[in-house]
Chain A
Amino acid sequence: MSWDTFVNMLPLLAEGALLTVELLLLSAVAGLILAVPLALARVSRTWWVSIGPRTYIFFFRGTPLLVQLFLVYYGLGQFEAVRESFVWPVLREAYWCAAITFSLHTSAYISEILRGAIQAVPGGEIEAARAIGMRPHQVYARIILPRAFRMALPAYGNEIILMLKASALASTITLLDLTGMAKTISAKNYMPVETFITAGAFYLIITYALTHLIRFLEKHLHPDRKEPVVIVG
């Protein structure tokens, strides 16, 4: 590959990288917001409260993201009812289909992380909170959730990295993210391997930056902690 070809693809790849990071941040935040009520309902002991989240989590963790993406993008577009409804201007756009699917997908994983963290909050603290007369919602808001969030941070950070890699699938529904750009560029320069390797380098840089950002946040929020134990493979 000539130096010229390499230099020419950089701005386009950077543009794609921007879209990737945009989608990533959107789904990381939306996924977290969705995950909280999901996790809370999931830990409930009333079966008809927990059955919904459990099915949702089962579906989104048990099927490939690609299937979920196609179901939303191509599948929903099949129905007249959807096309005539008020959600169509949103679902019509590949960008929103991707953002929505990624958010739903990651929320299933984050809610499991939160659930683990919530259940790991020391029982003694909860008892103490109840003993001094806190109401259930106060116990949650003041004791359980803050503790749980801090405990969940390493795994949440892990999940964000995983989401970054999964985001490459946005290219399958016409989006020009980093991978989509790489495909388009390689279709014109007939050098797919070189282009994909360059795109790979972009991904590694973003991963590196994100990992350091997350480690920084961890240290900042929990300065007394030792190296966190990452259980998720």
Chain B
Amino acid sequence: MKFTHHLKGVAIAAMTVLAVSAGSANAAEKLRIGTEGAYPPFNEVDANGELQGFDVDIAKALCASMGADCTFVKQDWDGIIPALNKRKFDAIVASMSITDERKKAVDFSEHYYTNKLQFVGKKGMAMDVSAAGLKGKTIGAQRATISGDWLEKNRADANIKLYDTQENAYLDLSSGRLDGILADAFVNYGWLESDAGKGFEFKGKPVFENDFIGIAVRKGEDQLRMKLNKAIKDIVANGTYAKINAKYFPFSIY
């Protein structure tokens, strides 16, 4: 019966983790990478349920460079840091910005790309993205992201709506519930290029640049962190990074 099948699944998962932990720590390292899967083009799930995207490709390249055996675990954004700390996975490669607040809970590697935040809104509609211009306007962002935080700090007069996923925010922008969205410029770029994004455009200059995106690991996991830093340097140096970059963007995002 399917029910016992699930029970077996839980038991097998528990035993696997036990077995894995028993053999980990050194050579042919097994690494579990946590990612969201709802953040195209950086991480998303294709029609077959497979994870893909820039983050996924970078993670695979890093693992190859480190000689580690990597598996991917999908995790909703809201619970991703608690899950890391509970050891559901060992590293988060999900376009997570390095912030002081997050550094209280986790440690970060060096950055693997640099992001900026930019507004998007409907084409043909003038939108002043200054604090005065957005007063009373409805702006959306994903919850627990620096976009959300930035809006709360700098555009408190606007009507801020926070969403579980970036996708839901775009849905509401398309239907006209939102006057605009603040999100990572590259994610916006990906959406604007898609069918759903037709009729929308960037509004104003990027409001926050030098947002460094890194890999989160548990506090104290310095060995892993060093290995990741070295791997990042290596793939940038040997051109692997540039190849992956080019697959998604016609400009460098490092």
Contacts and interface: CB of A to CB of B under 8 A. Distances in A.
Interface of A: 74, 77-78, 83, 88, 92, 94, 172, 174, 183-184, 186-188, 190, 192
Contacts of A78: 175
Interface stretch (B16-24, B49-57, B74-82): B74-82
Interface residues of B, number: 18
A19 to B, nearest CB: 14
B156 interface: no
B249 to A, nearest CB: 28
B79 A192 contact: yes
B175 A183 contact: no
A192 B85 CA distance: 13
B127 interface: no
B176 A88 contact: yes
Chain A interface mostly helix, strand, loop or mixed? helix
A83 B175 contact: yes
A184 B81 contact: no
B33 to A, nearest CB: 20
Interface string B117-155: 000000000000000000000000001100000000000
24 contacts: A74-B175, A77-B171, A77-B176, A83-B175, A83-B176, A88-B176, A92-B176, A92-B177, A94-B161, A174-B162, A174-B163, A183-B78, A184-B143, A184-B162, A187-B78, A187-B143, A187-B144, A188-B101, A188-B144, A190-B81, A190-B82, A190-B105, A192-B78, A192-B82
Contacts of A92: 176-177
Nearest to A171: B164
Nearest to A88: B176
Interface in B170-217: 171-172, 175-177
A184 B85 CA distance: 19
Given A174-B163, A184-B143, A184-B162, A77 B177 contact: yes
Contacts of B177: 77, 92, 94
Nearest to A180: B162
A145 B109 CA distance: 70
A183 B77 CA distance: 12
